[in-house]
């Protein structure tokens, strides 16, 4: 059987331009495009806008899975993302094969060949991800009693869900995503990043640690740059500090994205516009329509 690379995004048309940029970066840096499938899982995506996204990445085979809101009954819409984060928890039930897949947030830029990530052995783990450099462990927020109720030790490491390598067969076997959805429903009024927190809680640290260069957060890069301007020291684990200098995936994790007026000149925003100007949104800048 021919090996395939599946890359999954959960997104709606509010993030269409960002998705086009991420897809362009994926196509530009990944070899063997013939055996790549990009899967867009979405609750809504206007056909005209989707057409502009697909126009931006002509070398990629893209499939779209449209989901019904009823699949997420009991879960509230989220202020910035509608219901799209929850859709990550549905992916294993929506795709038919058992091969590992890569999940990317739409606000990412790929800087290397994703076949390398796809071929990383998961060693029996359901998920591979990068430990969050800001919220490294659950004890960063010790006031969250729900974690204690779920039996999560405070020293348990915590990953960022913006880039993940997922074994769908193992997720189904362990019931990871169904339990995560149940967690989201139970604590629906308390959690801010439901997909990320829920999977971390259910796995309780039993996930594969990916090298940090697979998910470099611009929030951290911005802090490093500000500290340097002010002549202050900002200490990072050496592995992460080295990864910042040679990221494989850049994740625009700050609230001010490159396509926002306040984020236009933010950390690594030049990478965003480098690819934007090769998409159907070429030469667009914040404050303009379209």
pLDDT tens digit string along 207-218? Answer: 999 999 999 999
Q: Domain-by-domain residue ranges, the chain?
A: 5-214, 217-268
The sheet that has 249-251: what strands, in order across it? 108-110, 249-251, 216-217
**pTM of the prediction?**
0.94
pLDDT at residue 116 tops 80? yes
Q: How high is the pLDDT of residue 79?
A: 57
Q: How high is the pLDDT of residue 191?
A: 86
Q: How high is the pLDDT of residue 69?
A: 82
**Dihedral sign for Cα atoms in the order 238, 244, 249, 252:** positive
- 64-73 — which CB contacts under 8 Å span 24+ positions? 64/39, 64/40, 65/39, 65/40, 65/41, 65/94, 66/42, 67/41, 67/42, 67/43, 67/94, 69/43
pLDDT at residue 183 tops 70? yes
Q: What share of the chain has pLDDT > 90, as a percent?
A: 69
| Confidence band for 73, pLDDT divided at 50, 70 and 90 | confident
Closest CA to 91 of 14, 180, 17, 154: 180
The pLDDT tens digits for 155-175 are: 999 999 999 999 999 999 999
Burial class of 115 by CB neighbour count within 10 A (0 to 12, 13 to 18, 19+): middle
Q: How high is the pLDDT of residue 34?
A: 93
Stated as kind and residue range, the H or E segment containing 161 is strand 159-166
Determine the average pLDDT of the residues in 265-274. Answer: 92
Backbone angles phi, psi at 92, to 5 degrees: -60, -25
CATH superfamily for 5-214 is: Spore Coat Polysaccharide Biosynthesis Protein SpsA; Chain A (3.90.550.10)
Mean pLDDT score across all residues of the chain: 91
Determine what percent of the chain falls in helix, strand and coil, rounding each to the nearest 5.
Answer: 40, 15, 45
pLDDT at residue 80 tops 60? no
Distance of CA 283 to the CA centre of its chain: 26
pLDDT at residue 223 tops 80? no
Residues 60/36, Cβ–Cβ less than 8 Å: yes
């Amino acid at each position: 059987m021919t090996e395939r690379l599946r890359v999954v995004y959960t997104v709606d048309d509010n993030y269409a331009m960002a998705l086009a940029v991420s897809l362009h970066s994926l196509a530009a840096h990944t070899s063997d495009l013939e055996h790549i499938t990009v899967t867009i899982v979405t609750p809504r995506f206007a056909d005209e806008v989707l057409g502009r996204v697909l126009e931006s990445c002509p070398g990629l085979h893209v499939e779209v899975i449209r989901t019904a809101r009823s699949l997420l009954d009991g879960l509230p819409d989220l202020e910035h993302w509608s219901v799209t984060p929850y859709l990550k928890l549905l992916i294993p039930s929506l795709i038919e094969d058992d091969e590992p897949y890569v999940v990317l947030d739409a606000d990412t830029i790929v800087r290397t060949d994703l076949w390398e990530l796809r071929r990383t052995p998961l060693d029996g783990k359901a998920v591979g991800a990068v430990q969050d450099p800001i919220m490294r462990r659950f004890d960063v927020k010790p006031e969250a009693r729900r974690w204690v109720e779920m039996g999560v030790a405070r020293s348990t490491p915590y990953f960022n869900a913006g880039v993940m390598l997922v074994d769908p067969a193992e997720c189904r076997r362990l019931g990871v995503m169904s339990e995560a959805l149940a967690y989201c429903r139970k604590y629906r009024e308390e959690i801010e990043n439901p997909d990320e927190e829920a999977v971390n809680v259910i796995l309780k640290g039993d996930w594969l640690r990916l090298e940090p260069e697979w998910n470099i957060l611009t929030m951290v890069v911005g802090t490093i740059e500000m500290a340097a301007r002010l002549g202050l020291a900002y200490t990072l684990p050496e592995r992460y500090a080295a990864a910042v200098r040679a990221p494989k995936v850049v994740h625009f994790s700050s609230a001010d994205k490159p396509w926002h007026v306040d984020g236009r000149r933010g950390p690594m925003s030049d990478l965003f516009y480098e690819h934007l100007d090769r998409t159907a949104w070429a030469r667009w800048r914040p404050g303009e329509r379209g």
